[in-house]
Amino acid sequence: MDPSNNGLTTMALIGDGYVGKTCILKCLQKSSYQQNSSPNVYNEMTLEKTDIFLLCFCVADTVSYENVTSKWVPDLQHYRSKPIILLGTKVDLRSSSSSTSISRHRGIRLQKRIGAKSYVECSSKSGQGISNIIDVASNVLLTSENRKTCTLQ
């Protein structure tokens, strides 16, 4: 844990643009689902202070799935001592795009391939799986270190 975090645990959501990171964050912060999008920007300093990464792809966007391995995991190499949870986002879209969508099975396969600690599916729109994110992240952190509080970034 970074000492400048004042004893709090910090997590960062990363992944392709438009996969739903900000909406997840808003849901986790207990505000409402947002229809409009505003881009996230992370810098090296933010990532240095992060204790756990929530690496996101959208289950209805195969490019975002492929970019997990081709872009995001290489980008995180510098922080490889820190745990990653793989998030499959926008699962409410799976039924409407079933021919091209990423199955749960493929999500789990990707999780294992990249060495992520867990795979969680969620939808900010329906609320499915959102509360599970913090449970899983807490478990992952508690198994490695004794952390008491958590802040979202």
Ligand X SMILES: Nc1nc2c(ncn2[C@@H]2O[C@H](COP(=O)(O)OP(=O)(O)OP(=O)(O)O)[C@@H](O)[C@H]2O)c(=O)[nH]1
* Least distance in angstroms from the C-beta of 44 to ligand X: 17
Number of residues that bind Mg ion (CB under 5 A): 3
- With the C-alpha atoms ordered 34, 35, 36, 40, is the resulting torsion angle positive or negative? positive
- How far CA 92 is from CA of 56, 114, 118, 121, in Å, comes to 15, 25, 20, 10
Partner from Mg ion, ligand X, none binding residue 92, C-beta < 5-8 Å depending on class: ligand X
Of 81-110, which residues contact ligand X (CB under 6 A)?
89-90, 92-93
> Which ranges in the chain belong to alpha helices (H)?
21-28, 44-48, 62-67, 73-75, 104-114, 130-144
Number of residues that bind ligand X (CB under 6 A): 19
Of 21-50, which residues contact ligand X (CB under 6 A)?
21-23, 34-35, 37, 39-40
Residue numbers of the site for ligand X (CB under 6 A)? Answer: 17-23, 34-35, 37, 39-40, 89-90, 92-93, 123-125
